[in-house]
């Protein structure tokens, strides 16, 4: 199946005649979901923002996430759940639920993605993160939709990985060639002043002109409150500790608990949110330790975490893209404790965000993770500036403007907010 990545000779089938169709603009989003919640939550935020701005638009998200049905979507947004794949500790992948090998699972996903493209007939196709999709599964749909006149967009987060790893990875996947061949626009969900994720690829000048730095994707609380019952601890100023999906957040949770265990003088309480993918055994151990600390409480998962974000006095998180956007959107004092393995993505984002004064960072990359270091950092949160105290033009997103430019014949084709190097 690896040969599929740039095998462009495959017949995606004849282009059907375009029948009359109802409704306004149609947007298809491919969410690259093989681990955690990050890609799904970003795609959901994008879809909800689109239909809020343009109520006649229909958006379909294609995702392999096993919990996509737990989230609330705006009117006009729906999803197609394709068979999931999951990342193993050794970096390899396997089928999540089906008893088939990985190649067969990818082949099924590829066929479903192509069929969705043919049936839905989108005006815009937004691909998340991977230009060819997981193991090339999006290439036949790209071929078909390009020939059909659909506008193709690659959407990537502000930081992908350190250049020494990103460049060979993209060469191996044929991603750079796909970027050049297929995509009308590349949306970087961030600011050029923070980071330029594709700079090391040395893209041709005409491709570089397709890049738009949209700013960070703005987040709002869902229209209906969470049905989750919040602990008593949330009735007073509290620190929210979140690790996103929870599959790789054990280190942060352990470090926070150890700080409260070691320092009885920590006054502000903290609510720890595990996430749905936390290891069951580690979860049990953490619950026992948390139960002994009067200033700590715990929740398993909240599919409307935005409400908790808004209630919290401050946030402690690993520094994934979505949490960073929420901290900016809700103007929260934030301590980032970035993951440094297997990628430096979170560390790079945290370093640059701290440089701009948007967050504070605490890392074990060069110093040991002692309870005292965490306790000092938690104690300092209340005196930390809020993101709104830093003036950075275009910080939050302009995606809606770009979508209008792609779908409105009378709109300017020039990017609305490029921050491009002159």
Question: Could you tell me if residue 142 is inside a domain?
Answer: yes
User: Quick one: pLDDT at residue 204?
Assistant: 94
**Antiparallel, parallel or unpaired: β 239-242 and 314-317:** parallel
At 56, list the tokens: 């006649």
How many domains is the chain partitioned into structurally? 2
pTM for the complete prediction?
0.82
Question: Could you tell me if residue 224 is inside a domain?
Answer: no
Question: Could you tell me if residue 415 is inside a domain?
Answer: no
Residues 178 and 202 both lie in one domain: yes
Residues 119 and 7 both lie in one domain: yes
Q: How many CB atoms lie within 10 A of CB 19?
A: 6
Any idea which of 120-124, 233-237, 407-411 has the lowest mean pLDDT?
407-411
pLDDT band at 66 (very low <50, low <70, confident <90, very high): confident
User: Quick one: pLDDT at residue 337?
Assistant: 96
Any idea which of 42-46, 143-147, 195-199 has the lowest mean pLDDT?
42-46
pLDDT band at 246 (very low <50, low <70, confident <90, very high): low
Residues 161 and 138 both lie in one domain: yes
Residues 239 and 379 both lie in one domain: yes
What confidence tens digit (pLDDT) does each residue in 269-326 have? 999 999 887 888 899 999 999 999 999 999 988 888 899 999 999 999 998 888 899 9
In the chain, what percentage of residues exceed pLDDT 70? 89
Question: Could you tell me if residue 99 is inside a domain?
Answer: yes
Residues 308 and 279 both lie in one domain: yes
Residues 383 and 403 both lie in one domain: no
Residues 378 and 402 both lie in one domain: no
User: Quick one: pLDDT at residue 220?
Assistant: 86
Q: Residue 344 sits in a domain of what CATH number?
A: 3.40.50.2000
Write the CB contacts of 32 (distance below 8 Å, at least 6 apart in sequence). Answer: 39, 127, 128, 129, 130, 133, 134
What confidence tens digit (pLDDT) does each residue in 117-126 have? 999 999 999 9
Residues 298 and 378 both lie in one domain: yes
Residues 243 and 207 both lie in one domain: no
What is the largest distance, in Å, between two alpha-carbon atoms of the chain? 71
In the block, residue with structure tokens 């409400």: 307
Question: Could you tell me if residue 416 is inside a domain?
Answer: no
Domain hosting 203: range is 2-218+396-407
Residue 263 has pLDDT above 60, yes or no: yes
What confidence tens digit (pLDDT) does each residue in 217-228 have? 888 888 888 778
What confidence tens digit (pLDDT) does each residue in 116-157 have? 999 999 999 999 999 999 999 999 999 999 999 999 999 999
pLDDT band at 32 (very low <50, low <70, confident <90, very high): confident
Write the CB contacts of 386 (distance below 8 Å, at least 6 apart in sequence). Answer: 331, 332, 333
Residue 416 has pLDDT above 50, yes or no: no
Residues 285 and 269 both lie in one domain: yes
Q: Which of 376, 361, 385 is nearest to 266 (CA)?
A: 376
Question: Could you tell me if residue 420 is inside a domain?
Answer: no
Q: How far apart are CA 270 and CA 257, in angstroms?
A: 9
Question: Could you tell me if residue 37 is inside a domain?
Answer: yes
The whole-chain average pLDDT of the chain stands at 87
Question: Could you tell me if residue 413 is inside a domain?
Answer: no
Identify which has the larger pLDDT, 405 or 91. 405
Residues 212 and 317 both lie in one domain: no
Identify which has the larger pLDDT, 6 or 113. 113
Write the CB contacts of 36 (distance below 8 Å, at least 6 apart in sequence). Answer: 244, 245, 247, 248, 277, 320
pLDDT band at 103 (very low <50, low <70, confident <90, very high): very high
Residues 276 and 334 both lie in one domain: yes
Residue 253 has pLDDT above 80, yes or no: yes
Any idea which of 18-22, 101-105, 277-281, 327-331 has the lowest mean pLDDT?
18-22
């Amino acid at each position: 199946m690896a040969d599929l990545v740039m095998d462009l000779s495959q017949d995606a089938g004849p282009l059907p005649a375009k029948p009359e169709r109802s409704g306004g603009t149609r947007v298809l989003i491919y969410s690259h979901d093989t681990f955690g919640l990050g890609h799904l939550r970003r795609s959901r935020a994008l879809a909800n923002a689109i239909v809020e701005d343009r109520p006649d638009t229909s958006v379909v998200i294609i995702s392999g996430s096993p919990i996509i049905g737990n989230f609330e979507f705006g009117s006009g947004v729906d999803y197609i759940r394709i068979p999931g794949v999951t990342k193993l500790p050794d970096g390899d992948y396997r089928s999540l639920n089906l008893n088939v090998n990985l190649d067969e699972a990818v082949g099924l996903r590829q066929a479903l993605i192509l069929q969705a493209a043919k049936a839905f007939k989108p005006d815009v196709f937004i691909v998340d993160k991977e230009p060819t999709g997981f193991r090339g599964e999006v290439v036949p749909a790209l071929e078909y939709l390009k020939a059909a006149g659909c506008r193709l967009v690659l959407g990537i987060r502000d930081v992908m990985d350190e250049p020494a790893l990103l460049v060979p990875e993209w060469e191996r996947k044929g991603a750079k060639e796909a970027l050049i061949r297929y995509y009308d626009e590349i949306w970087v969900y961030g600011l050029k002043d923070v980071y330029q994720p594709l700079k090391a690829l040395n893209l041709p000048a005409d491709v570089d002109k397709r890049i738009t730095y949209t700013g960070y994707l703005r987040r709002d609380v869902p229209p209906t409150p969470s049905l989750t019952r919040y602990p008593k601890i949330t009735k007073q100023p509290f620190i929210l500790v979140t690790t996103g999906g929870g599959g790789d957040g054990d280190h942060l949770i352990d470090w926070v608990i150890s700080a409260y265990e070691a320092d009885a003088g920590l006054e502000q309480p903290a609510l720890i949110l595990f996430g749905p993918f936390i290891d069951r055994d580690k979860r049990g151990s953490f619950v026992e330790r948390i139960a002994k600390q009067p200033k700590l409480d715990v929740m398993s998962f909240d599919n409307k975490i935005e409400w908790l974000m808004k209630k919290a006095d401050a946030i402690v998180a690993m520094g994934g893209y979505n949490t960073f956007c929420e901290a900016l959107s809700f103007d929260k004092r934030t301590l980032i404790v970035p993951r440094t393995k297997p990628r430096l993505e979170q560390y790079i984002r945290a370093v640059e965000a701290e440089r701009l004064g948007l967050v504070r960072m605490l890392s074990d990359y060069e110093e040991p993770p002692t309870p005292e270091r965490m306790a000092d950092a938690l104690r300092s949160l209340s005196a930390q500036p809020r993101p709104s105290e830093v003036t950075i033009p275009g910080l939050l997103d302009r995606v809606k403007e770009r979508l209008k430019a792609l779908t409105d014949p009378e709109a300017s084709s020039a990017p609305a907010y490029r921050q491009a190097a002159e």
